[in-house]
């Protein structure tokens, strides 16, 4: 995959690409991104005469690269590490859910204006529906890594959906506590259980986790544990009951140890490929205002992991 420097975007040198570059991902690093493969498959399948390009944008280049988008005829861009939060003050408008999440992974260009969205949270919702045929709002959910970027997006989305119960777990527990304070107003409803029962924060501690798992339906791993094959187990297999749904946002290693342990315990489990797919499909829908060709995107993603 070709990676272009930000200077090529800013100077107009990307104008020579065919089909013309109209959407992108900005990151630092960006060469590892799976997005060009499945977005270009989507563009081909939809018959759109446009390319999706990976652009290496450093933090100091971000403002100029964003401002070059309308000038160079781009419809938008995705943002990955380390730009998802830094981009907020550089945009003309921010979607309310992205504002609450505090991070933007999709920028849309319309009439020269840059609007920020977050498709990670909604992509997670679609992934859970697809993998387990359930809606997040009906579930009692425990999120590991609730203080990180993905964990925060997922926690906010679950709270916005009005899930039955939300337990935030984070190694640095203060980050999860701060998030719980932000989310608490979303749990003040007329349901029978009060906010303190429905929203809880616990440290990444075995005894605390064990006590919570008895009243949980869905366990989500949004930590970086599992990205390497040699990583320790996130949860001891003995704690994974057959009644649990387990979603591991990690997709780098295919079937992660958590997914394998959950399946061998009799639980239903899936890895983060479906979330990756659906956050990308939602970006496509924002830019092109039509449904994304999911089958082709899914096939392109799967071939990258074959």
User: What residues from 61 to 120 belong to the interface with ligand NAP (CB under 6 A)?
Assistant: 120
For this structure, is 84 an active site residue?
yes
Name, in order, each residue with C-beta under 8 angstroms of 41's C-beta and a sequence gap of 6 or more.
293, 296, 297, 299, 300
How far apart CA 84 and CA 95 sit, in angstroms, is 14
The least distance separating ligand NAP from the CB of residue 253, rounded to whole angstroms, comes to 10
Phi, psi for 263 (deg, rounded to 5): -65, -40
Burial class (CB in 10 A: 0-12, 13-18, 19+), 89: exposed
Q: Which stretch binds ligand NAP (CB under 6 A): 131-139, 158-166, 178-186, 247-255?
A: 247-255
Q: Which stretch binds ligand NAP (CB under 6 A): 148-156, 212-220, 258-266, 288-296?
A: 148-156
The least distance separating ligand NAP from the CB of residue 31, rounded to whole angstroms, comes to 16
Q: Nearest CA to 63 among 99, 29, 26? A: 26
Q: Which is nearer to ligand NAP, 172 or 264 (CB)?
A: 172
Contact 213, 244 (CB under 8 A): yes
Does 122 sit near ligand NAP (CB under 6 A)?
Answer: no
Does 249 sit near ligand NAP (CB under 6 A)?
Answer: yes
251 CB-side CA count, 13 A:
18
Q: Compute the C-alpha angle 107/109/111, nearest 5°.
A: 155
User: What residues from 165 to 224 belong to the interface with ligand NAP (CB under 6 A)?
Assistant: 170-172, 175, 204, 222-224
Contact 248, 299 (CB under 8 A): no
The least distance separating ligand NAP from the CB of residue 27, rounded to whole angstroms, comes to 12
Please identify which of the residues 34, 56, 83, 84 carries the catalytic annotation.
84
The least distance separating ligand NAP from the CB of residue 68, rounded to whole angstroms, comes to 26
Does 227 sit near ligand NAP (CB under 6 A)?
Answer: yes
How far apart CA 56 and CA 128 sit, in angstroms, is 32
Chosen residue from 26, 74, 117, 251 binding ligand NAP by CB under 6 A = 251
Does 27 sit near ligand NAP (CB under 6 A)?
Answer: no
Does 293 sit near ligand NAP (CB under 6 A)?
Answer: no
The least distance separating ligand NAP from the CB of residue 204, rounded to whole angstroms, comes to 5
Does 279 sit near ligand NAP (CB under 6 A)?
Answer: yes
The least distance separating ligand NAP from the CB of residue 276, rounded to whole angstroms, comes to 4
SS3 of 269, please?
strand
Concatenated DSSP letters of 211-243: HHHTT-SEEEE-SSTTSSTTPPPSS-GGG--TT
Site residues for ligand NAP per CB under 6 A: 120, 145, 147-151, 170-172, 175, 204, 222-225, 227, 249-251, 272, 275-276, 279
The residues assigned a catalytic role are 84
């Amino acid at each position: 995959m070709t990676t272009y420097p930000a200077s090529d975007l800013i100077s107009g040198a990307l104008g020579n690409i065919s089909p013309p570059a109209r959407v992108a991902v900005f990151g630092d690093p960006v060469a590892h991104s799976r997005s060009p493969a499945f977005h270009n498959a989507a563009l081909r399948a939809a018959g759109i005469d446009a390319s999706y390009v990976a652009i290496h944008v450093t933090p100091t280049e971000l403002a100029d690269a964003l401002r070059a988008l309308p000038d160079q005829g781009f419809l938008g861009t995705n943002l990955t590490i380390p730009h998802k939060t830094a981009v907020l003050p550089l945009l003309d408008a921010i979607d309310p859910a992205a504002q609450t999440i505090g991070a933007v992974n999709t920028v849309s260009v319309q009439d020269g204006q840059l609007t920020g969205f977050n498709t990670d949270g909604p992509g997670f919702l679609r992934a859970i529906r697809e993998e387990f045929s359930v809606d997040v709002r009906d579930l009692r959910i425990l999120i590991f890594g609730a203080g990180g970027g993905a964990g925060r997006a997922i926690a906010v989305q679950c709270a916005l959906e009005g899930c039955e119960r939300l337990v935030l777990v984070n190694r640095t527990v203060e980050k999860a506590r701060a998030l719980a304070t932000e989310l608490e107003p979303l749990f003040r409803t007329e349901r029978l259980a009060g906010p303190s029962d429905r929203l809880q924060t616990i440290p990444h501690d075995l005894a605390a986790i064990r006590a919570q798992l008895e009243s949980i339906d869905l366990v989500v791993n949004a930590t970086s544990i599992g990205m390497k094959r040699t990583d320790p187990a996130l949860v001891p297999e003995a704690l994974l009951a057959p009644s649990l749904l387990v979603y591991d946002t990690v997709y780098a290693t295919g079937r992660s140890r958590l997914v394998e342990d959950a399946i061998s315990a009799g639980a239903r489990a899936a890895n983060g490929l479906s979330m990756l797919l659906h956050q990308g499909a939602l970006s496509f829908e924002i830019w092109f205002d039509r449904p994304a060709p999911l089958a082709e995107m899914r096939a392109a993603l799967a071939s990258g992991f074959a």
